[in-house]
Amino acid sequence: MLGSMLGETLKEQGGEPLFRAVESVRTLAKAARSGDTQAGQALQALLSEADLPTLRDIARSFSLFLGLSNIAESHHRIRRRRRRLQEPDATPQPGSCDETFGRLLSQGHTTEEIFQAIVDSEIDLVFTAHPTQSTRRTLLQKHARIAWLLQERDWPDQTPLERELVHARLRTEVEACWLTDELRHTRPTPIDEVMSGLVLFEQTLWNTVPQFLRELDRALRHHTGKALPLDCAPIRFGTWMGGDRDGNPFVTAGVTEEAVALGRWMAADLYLKSITELRDQLSMAECSDELRARVGEAGEPYRAHLREVAERLQATRDAQDNCLAALRQANRTPIAISAEPYSRVEDLREDIHICWRSLRETGAVWQADGAVTDLLRRISTFGLSLARLDIREDSAMHTEAMTAITESLGLGRYVEWSETDRRAFLLRELASTRSVVPRKRPPGDAFSRVAATLEVIAKLPRETLGSYIISMASNVSDVLCVLLFQREFGVDLPVVPLFETESDLEHAGEVMDTLFSTDEYKAGIEGRQQVMLGYSDSAKDAGRLAASWALYKAQEALAETCARHDVKLTLFHGRGGTVGRGGGPTYLAIRSQPPGSVGGRIRVTIQGEMVDSTFGLPGLALRNLEVYATATLDATLAPPRGPTEGWRELMERLATQSAASFRDVVHRNPMFVPYFRSATPEPELGRLNIGSRPARRKAGGGVASLRAIPWVFAWNQTRLLLPGWLGTGESLRTALDSPDRETLIEMARSWPFLESTLDLVRMVLAKSLPDVSERYDELLVPDDLRQIGDDLRRRLQNTVDAVREVIGQTELLAGNPTLRRSIEVRNPYVDPLNLIQAELLKRVRAEATEDVWDALLTSVHGVAAGMRNTG
């Protein structure tokens, strides 16, 4: 239906010639993908001869079609879930509360174990502004309206006129999508990203979270006989938007302060709207003595009390308005604050809880258990800022800042000291009461940047902040350095090392063991430690298979170390959307963690395009919240089996060979980077304006200096998807051709870690199309580099063959027909975009006019929509 509407829109807005051109391309692409070589040649000829306006309009048409297809797929998933829930005798959906609770009970777990595990759950979903969302926010909002209209269209009791109106509104939105410029012509600022994140809370999570908690409460009552406590918030939210300064010079101390103020403003505004609705509902005259003592003789005690709550929330919002005006240096008179703003979430919770107690005491149980309960659960989940803001900075920045201090003190250059000397200096200063920062501030941008950040953190409300994350952490001194800086500036945030490379992951357990054995450190953590694991850079360093094993071992080591030191561990998983950056199905990812590594506590980044694809629509958000809760419960009470010693030894050999093969291609071949930059749109991706931070940590350089996102993004565009599979095939083939063959096959069948790892590799391989990547080589790659592309495509086919042999199936996605069908349906619509993109890359590199750029970037958006992820 949406496709037909798009066709009608193309005729109306672009004319019959455009519609016929799009139909010709579509017909040829479908025939070519079915094996018709003549159709493929005709398609290439048609697109290579087309003029620029035609190419751009064709690219826009296919891009919009794929965007509409994504909406339809999401709607179908939501509709399928709802229909299952409507059937009383239907088998519960895997990963649902009913399915998980019922299965755990059948396995022998008690109702008390399940209840307590849910109550004790600490699941943090952390939204980040990683530059992988290529679709403009304007279009995403139109997509959300289309999704809502599709849901409205399914309502069974519509009159013919109502159905006609829904159809007309859908046509209106599709037309608006076509008439809207899909390109960002300016790079978003960090504050733009903050605002984008807050929209998610306003439009989706504010209403979805209490709905999810009602479902969790219902399932708990049904299976355990116990209700979810009112103050229980198994899932909370964090954000990096406005706090992640790693490699982003535009995230300043002022940006961080403004981000916190915006979050508090939005929270106050949403609470104020909820209170207004509650005042309309609670018109009762009878109340408890406790509430009567507060409101006096008011005839409508709840309304009288909530009016005071509303006044305080208004004051809270006004105070943030004044703060924002001051930060932006707005020339206006501050708003007069007429009531006491809320500064503690406990005060707001108590002001609502007194209403709940009064309603229950006076017999108005339905009133108490309705909107009042929902509001109390929102307060427990969102606090006064919706999401806690993490601060992230590169360890190199701290090292440079500390070097400025030691040079000012005449102690030499900290950056040149050994790890032993650094550690001794930091421990000595931590044990001392004197300040290490000289009265005359040290010179240099690094110290100024670190100091400004910490000074702002020190004055912000503690409950608005999460953790202080050190990216590229590798040594004990990286953590102690931040600890010393925090002490100097009066900051007390949990310090979280982020281990990213294969080597750093290998030594993560040792680093934490040393820290826990250090009194100055152990005394300050109160028996709790958060450690972040980097999925992106480890895969770029060693390849996906080796990185997965390094991450698995790091989690084992960290869990063992924390248990030995009696420290509660929370692992923070820095996953992206693609397999090359640690992405994959949520339930599978959590359930395949090492035994004992979850323990009811987990943090996960939700990055870029995954924010909208998992939480952008209420139905999707509801399902994903449920899956995070049940997967964490499952991994806690019924952890997967660990590897036998024989499996572990073979996995070590697989990872070693996989990493060696990956590095031989990516890091050791001097011709690889020139090939990569010729055969993919990586050099052009900076023009997309999809994030506020630069694509490279440092100017120039090769793969090592490139951030993981554009690295993965570029390979996804050419459909080779190299980061998700390179190195895997060689290691599997060696094992298959050795006495390890049967052991490998058994591991892939019986060990959840390897099973899930290969499942993701299978998905990547099924999406990879060597013939598409070959077209890029034909048009873009110099003759002396062509052999690299040929070699990569041979490796891809060898990997496909090896994986098929391991799983014992000729079809990669035999066990997932839904995904296989989705890929097959999409390919003929993505293929033309790739052909257009390759042609436009050739043109833009020859003559980079703005019109060519716009057409090229349109093709990039289209391929991203077709692949359903970017980086």
Residues serving a catalytic function are 130, 540
CA nearest 722: which of 692, 765, 755?
Answer: 765
Q: Which residues lie closer than 8 Å to 830 by C-beta, 6 or more apart? A: 62, 66, 719, 862, 863, 866, 867
Q: How far apart are CA 618 and CA 148, in angstroms?
A: 10
CA nearest 97: which of 841, 622, 499, 484?
Answer: 622
Phi, psi of 533 (to 5 degrees): -115, 130
Q: How far apart are CA 448 and CA 257, in angstroms?
A: 16
Q: What are 440's two structure tokens?
A: 């005359």
Phi, psi of 466 (to 5 degrees): -105, -100
CB 348 within 8 A of CB 340: no
CB 546 within 8 A of CB 552: no
Q: How far apart are CA 824 and CA 743, in angstroms?
A: 33
Chain mean position to CA 398:
26
Q: How far apart are CA 709 and CA 724, in angstroms?
A: 13
Q: Are strands 528-534 and 122-128 parallel, antiparallel or unpaired?
A: unpaired
Q: How far apart are CA 113 and CA 554, in angstroms?
A: 28
Q: Are strands 528-534 and 568-574 parallel, antiparallel or unpaired?
A: parallel
Residue count of the chain = 871
Q: Which residues lie closer than 8 Å to 673 by C-beta, 6 or more apart? A: 702, 703
Q: How far apart are CA 520 and CA 480, in angstroms?
A: 9
Q: What are 732's two structure tokens?
A: 């599997």
Task: For residue 437, give the 3-state DSSP assignment.
Answer: coil
Cα 817–819–822 angle (5° rounding)?
Answer: 105
Phi, psi of 356 (to 5 degrees): -60, -45
Q: How far apart are CA 142 and CA 232, in angstroms?
A: 35
Chain mean position to CA 641:
27
Count other C-beta atoms under 10 Å from residue 267's C-beta: 29
CB 846 within 8 A of CB 865: no
Return the sign of the alpha-carbon dihedral for residues 95, 99, 104, 106.
Answer: negative
Q: Where are the alpha helices (DSSP H) in 181-300?
A: 190-200, 206-224, 253-281, 289-295
Partner residues linked to 498 by β-bridges: 532
The region, left, alpha or beta by phi > 0 then psi within -120 to 50, assigned to residue 108 is left
Phi, psi of 534 (to 5 degrees): -95, 115
In angstroms, the first-to-last Cα distance of the chain is: 30
Q: How far apart are CA 341 and CA 350, in angstroms?
A: 15
The DSSP line for 826-840 is: HHHHHHHHHHHHHHH
CA nearest 541: which of 584, 499, 589, 593?
Answer: 499
Task: For residue 654, give the 3-state DSSP assignment.
Answer: helix
CA nearest 139: which of 228, 48, 209, 70?
Answer: 70
